[in-house]
C-alpha cells in the first residue's frame, strides 16, 4: 500500500471494523506446496475498503487490533501510508492473521488457505476496542460477515460494533463476504447469526445467494428478475435496510471474466452492462473495491445508476492491480470510462 495524497470528500470518516491480515503468495503458477518464495501484502476485507476510500479522498478510519510485533507494525504502517487513520487500531497479545493465495494458472483455479486461528484480533474481547471513540463523528460503519465467521468471539465483536454504531446514530454497511471454510470450522449457524446482524444494517452488499442464506429460501427466475425478487424479499424482511449492492460475475477462464454491478433501493434499481476483462492480474479484493466505490457515491448522495457505475469501475480496475488493495485517485475513477490507453 504505497502512500497517496488525499482530499476530503465526505462529512466524516468511514470506520472500517475487521481483522487486518498479511497475504503471502507464491509466484504465478507455482503451487504453494512447492513454493520457495512468497510475496507479502497487507490486506483484509475491511482494510481494503478503508485504503481504497482514503485514496479516493473519502476519510477512513480503521478499527482493529494488531499484535505488537514487526508484522503488526508493518500492517499499521502500510495502512497509514495509504492515508487511513490508524489511531483506533489497538495492540494486543497474540499472532498476526495470515492467508496464503495461490493465483489461478490456466485451467487451474486459484485457492486461499487461511492461517488465522488464534490471531490477536480473533482472540480479542469487545472490551479491547474503544468503539465509541472510533465512531465519533463517523459517516458510516463498514464491517463484514468475515468477523462473525471467526467464531463465537467474532460474533461478540460484530454485535458490539453494531451496538456502538446504533448508539452513536451511525449507519451501518454490512458486506456478507460469506466464507464457508471459516463458518465450517466451528459449530455455527451462519444464517441465523447473519440474519441478526443484517437486521441492524442500512446498506447490504450481497447477491441473491447471500439473501437466500439469510432468509432460508430460494428465488425463481434468472438474471435481473431473480436479483430484484431477492432484493424485494430482503427489504420486506429487514425494515432498516435501505440499499443493496451486488456484483454479477461470469467466469470464462482464470484470466478472463465478465463483470456487472447492481444497486437496489426499495423503489428503484439499476444494473450495469457487463465489462469483459482479459489478462486479469489479481481478482482478490475486487469485492472490497466494489464496496468502496458504492460507499463513496452513497455518501455523496448519488443515484443508483452512478453508485453502480462507480462500484463497477473500481472493481474492474482492481483486477489489474496485484495485492489485496487498489489505491486509485478520484480522477482515475472519474476517467475510467474514457478508455485504457496511455494518459499523457
Instruction: Return d(Cα 39, Cα 208) in angstroms, integer.
Output: 35
Instruction: Return d(Cα 156, Cα 133) in angstroms, integer.
Output: 19
Instruction: Return d(Cα 299, Cα 259) in angstroms, integer.
Output: 24
Strands (E), the chain: 14-17, 21-25, 39-43, 60-67, 85-92, 98-102, 111-115, 140-144, 172-175, 203-205, 243-253, 256-265, 269-271, 275-278
Q: Nearest-CA neighbor of 4 among 62, 52, 60?
A: 52
Instruction: Return d(Cα 77, Cα 150) in angstroms, integer.
Output: 25
Among 222, 288, 324, 334, the one annotated catalytic: 288
Active-site annotation holds for 210: no
- C-beta atoms surrounding 310 within 10 Å: 26
Instruction: Return d(Cα 328, Cα 338) in angstroms, integer.
Output: 15
Phi, psi of 179 (to 5 degrees): -120, 95
For residues 129 and 65, the answer to whether their CB atoms sit within 8 Å is: yes
Phi, psi of 331 (to 5 degrees): -65, -40
Task: Quickly tell me which residue has 432484493 as its cell.
Answer: 231
For residues 163 and 195, the answer to whether their CB atoms sit within 8 Å is: no
Q: Nearest-CA neighbor of 198 among 249, 248, 233?
A: 233
Residues serving a catalytic function are 288
Amino acid at each position: 500500500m504505497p502512500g497517496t495524497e488525499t482530499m476530503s470528500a465526505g462529512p466524516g470518516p468511514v470506520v472500517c471494523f475487521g481483522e487486518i491480515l498479511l497475504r503471502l503468495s507464491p509466484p504465478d503458477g507455482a503451487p504453494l506446496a512447492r513454493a520457495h518464495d512468497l510475496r507479502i501484502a497487507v490486506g483484509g476485507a475491511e482494510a481494503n475498503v478503508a485504503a481504497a476510500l482514503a485514496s479516493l479522498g473519502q476519510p477512513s478510519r480503521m478499527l482493529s487490533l494488531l499484535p505488537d510485533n514487526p508484522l503488526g507494525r508493518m500492517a499499521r504502517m502500510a495502512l497509514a501510508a495509504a492515508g487511513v487513520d490508524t489511531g483506533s487500531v489497538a495492540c494486543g497479545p497474540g499472532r498476526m492473521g495470515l492467508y496464503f493465495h495461490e493465483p489461478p494458472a490456466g485451467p487451474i483455479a486459484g485457492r486461499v488457505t487461511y492461517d488465522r486461528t488464534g490471531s490477536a484480533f480473533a482472540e480479542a474481547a469487545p472490551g479491547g476496542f474503544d468503539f465509541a471513540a472510533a465512531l465519533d463523528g463517523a459517516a458510516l460503519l463498514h464491517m463484514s460477515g468475515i468477523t462473525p465467521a471467526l467464531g463465537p468471539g467474532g460474533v461478540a465483536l460484530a454485535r458490539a460494533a453494531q451496538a456502538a454504531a446504533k448508539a452513536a446514530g451511525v449507519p451501518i454497511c454490512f458486506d456478507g463476504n460469506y466464507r464457508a471454510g471459516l463458518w465450517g470450522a466451528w459449530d455455527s449457524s451462519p444464517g441465523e447469526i447473519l440474519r441478526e446482524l443484517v437486521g441492524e444494517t442500512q446498506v447490504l452488499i450481497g447477491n441473491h445467494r447471500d439473501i437466500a442464506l439469510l432468509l432460508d429460501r430460494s428465488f425463481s427466475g434468472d438474471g435481473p428478475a431473480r436479483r430484484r425478487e431477492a432484493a424485494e424479499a430482503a427489504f420486506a424482511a429487514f425494515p432498516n435496510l435501505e440499499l443493496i449492492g451486488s456484483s454479477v460475475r461470469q467466469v470464462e477462464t482464470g484470466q478472463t471474466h465478465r463483470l456487472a454491478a447492481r444497486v437496489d433501493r426499495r423503489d428503484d434499481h439499476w444494473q450495469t452492462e457487463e465489462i469483459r476483462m482479459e489478462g486479469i492480474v489479481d481478482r482478490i479484493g475486487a469485492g472490497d473495491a466494489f464496496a468502496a466505490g458504492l460507499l463513496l457515491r452513497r455518501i455523496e448522495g448519488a443515484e443508483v445508476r452512478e453508485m453502480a457505475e462507480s462500484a463497477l469501475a473500481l472493481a474492474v480496475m482492481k483486477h489489474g492491480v496485484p495485492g489485496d488493495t487498489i489505491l486509485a485517485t478520484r480522477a482515475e475513477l472519474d476517467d475510467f470510462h474514457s478508455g485504457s490507453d496511455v494518459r499523457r
